[in-house]
Amino acid sequence: MKTTGEVVGIIANLVTVKANGAVAQNEICFITLRSGVRLMAEVIKITGEKVFVQVFESTRGLSIGAPVEFEGYMLNATLGPGILKRIYDGLQSDLQAMEGVFLQRGLYNDPLDMSSEWEFTPTAQAGDKVQAGDWLGWVPEGWLEHKIMVPFAFKGEYRIKSIVEKGVCKITDTVAVLVDNSGEEHNVTMIQKWPVKIPITAYKDKPRPMRTMEVGMRAIDTFNPIAEGGTGFIPGPFGAGKTVLQHAISKQADAQVIIIAACGERANEVVETFVEFPELDDPRTGRKLMERTVIIANTSNMPVSAREASVYTAMTIGEYYRAMGYKVLLLADSTSRWAQALREMSNRLEELPGQDAFPMDLPAIISAFYARAGFVYLNNGQSGSVTFIGTVSPAGGNLKEPVTEATKKAARCFYALSQQRADSKRYPAIDPLDSYSKYLEYPEIIEYLGEKFGSDWVGKVNAAKTIVQRGKEAYEQINILGDDGVPVEYHDRYWKSELIDFIILQQDSFDKTDSNCPMSRQVYMFDLVMGICNMGFRFSNFEEVVSYYKNLINSLRQMNYSPFESEEFNKYLAQTKAILAEKE
């Protein structure tokens, strides 16, 4: 029998309920308005018979005494074939199936088409011993094999009593019957549910990341690579290019499934994603990018509690596809607005505030969420990964504010966007000196990069960063003392750092060739540029330095715009070598 209660207090979307029975933390309940509309809410605090719930909808029209019914389960994600290509809200309602411009309060629909049919191919057989997360078969979902698994909620070992033969099945049909150790039978369909705030742990091992994920951007792949199954975040002021950078990564990254969580984003940015992604071609498959993409949409005008639901729902879907052995890339924009939602609810609960009124446990909440990403070995020996990249929108670009500081403790990669670089049109505006990748310190990653790109690869990357740092110092001296007030060597040092900036760090996302740079090309160009930086040139005055390096940069940039090893590419390579020969 369900526990009931009644509303005794309302503060925006924080509602206090007097419960008439047992209630669990994070339990879902429904509050009924006088109009008959039922609003979904989640229990966030229990004090005796008083229960505090956060409502996922506007509480306009809610009054004291409204009846509340507790459901006995947590906020769940519905997992099964048909998730890809869909656009959900934070509660996993299918937005494409809804009508009208604005979402109606209290309207929730099925995340999947319950009448859909799929061509099921079994991979297990009767008599096999299985456990949670093991593959029973698969159905084609676009070009991917969507694995049908033993539900994650199953504990212990089971024996397959029966499994259907290859053929068309409804998504709700029983595809296998499992028997537990006590002899009880359990029917398994293609659908399962899982609480979004609990990590899916149906795997054998979760080691440290051991290889990098290629995203096609030199400022990341070459300078500060992210690991497959790693974590990173992109802080930066408004207008510095966080959303554009995430979109570029989603198009080009070496991942099989892309999940985009728009967490509290402005509606026009979310609509831009809706409109743009279905039209984009996938550079890896030649098909539409949307075929392997899921979008979780939550705009800034939706209730703040729905922001929290959106990021957890996105991560749960990511873990689900990881359990199928796929490489998943999860992009969340922006986790600052999720943190703002946590602050708002914490303040309404009158909890002890931390810095800038954020919750005291904000670092722990962020760390626990980032920890759900990772590389795993499944029970069958296959591997899967969830790579998570979030964005942070610090007020005024202040990278010392609590959300950025808390995220720096959890994420291994830090891609700081610079307003100065954005204003000077140096895109992507990733600051090469403030940004870092802690994966370059991992012995496993150093060994992996050494095997692929040469044993001295990490050393060359660090040397390039040193050149950029020395160039910045020289630039400051030139600015203070003037062009004639410093030795010519200062100009040479500065322009070598500019060479790395223009050829390696900057990338033209509007150019078909330069927008996506494979690692083979990145290695070639990086070795070429570093070879030039290690040369010693003699100049008589600073005008000669400027003229020489501008010609060199122009020639190398044309190589970036030319297809790799094409006739045009080789023409500009010969031109570059001729310029270098002038100073030999």
Q: Where are the domains of the chain?
A: 4-75, 113-190, 218-438, 454-582
Proportion of the chain above pLDDT 70, given as a percent: 100
pLDDT-derived band of residue 100, with 50, 70 and 90 as boundaries?
confident
Single out the residue of 75, 202, 73, 81 nearest to residue 150, CA to CA.
Answer: 202
Fold type of domain 454-582 = 1.10.1140
SS3 annotation, 274-330 = HHHHHHCECCCCCCEHHHHEEEEEEECCCCCHHHHHHHHHHHHHHHHHHCCCCEEEE
Considering the entire predicted model, what is its pTM? 0.95
Q: Any idea which residue has 């002038």 for tokens?
A: 582
Banded pLDDT at 112 (limits 50, 70, 90) = very high
Cis-peptide into 428, omega within 30 deg: yes
Reply yes or no on whether the pLDDT at 395 is more than 90. no
Domain 4-75 has CATH 2.40.30.20: yes
Q: How many CA atoms lie within 13 A of 492 on its CB side?
A: 14
pLDDT tens by residue, 431-485 = 999 999 999 999 999 999 999 999 999 999 999 999 999 999 999 999 999 999 9
**pLDDT, tens digit, for every residue of 301-356?**
777 778 889 999 999 999 999 999 999 999 998 899 899 989 999 999 999 999 99
Looking at residue 447, what is its pLDDT? 96
Alpha-carbon Rg for the chain, nearest whole angstrom, is 27
Q: Kindly state the percentage of the chain with pLDDT values over 90.
A: 82
Chain-wide mean pLDDT for the chain?
Answer: 93
Check if the beta carbon of residue 292 is closer than 8 Å to that of residue 259: no
Encode pLDDT of 190-228 as tens digits.
999 999 999 999 999 999 999 999 999 999 999 999 999
Specify the CATH class of 113-190 in words.
Answer: mainly beta
Copy the structure tokens of residue 453.
Answer: 């790109």
Q: Is 458 helix (H, G, I), strand (E, B) or coil?
A: helix
Alpha helices, H only, 356-442: 362-370, 402-410, 419-423
Concatenating the DSSP letter of every residue in 462-489 gives: HHHHHHHHHHHHHHHHHHHH-GGGS-HH
pLDDT number for residue 51:
97
pLDDT of residue 300: 72
- For position 7, what pLDDT does the model report? 97
Q: Provide the pairing of β-strand 38-47 with 50-55.
A: antiparallel
**What pLDDT, in 10s, does the model give residues 259-310?**
999 887 777 777 777 777 777 888 777 888 899 999 998 877 777 778 889 9
- Whether residue 244 is predicted with pLDDT greater than 90 in this model: the reply is no
List Cβ neighbours of 217 (8 Å cut-off, separation of 6 or more). Answer: 245, 248, 249, 252, 428, 507, 517
Residue 239: predicted pLDDT: 81
**Among the listed ranges 174-178, 230-234, 343-347, which one has the minimum average pLDDT value?**
343-347
Q: Could you name the CATH architecture of 218-438?
A: 3-Layer(aba) Sandwich (3.40)
Letter for the amino acid at 164? Answer: V
Q: What are phi and psi of 583, to 5 degrees?
A: -105, 5
Buried b (16+ CB within 10 A) or exposed e, 165-196: eeeebbbeeebbbbeeeeeeeeebbbbbbbbb
Over residues 496-555, the pLDDT tens digits come to 999 999 999 999 988 999 999 999 999 999 999 999 999 999 999 999 999 999 999 999
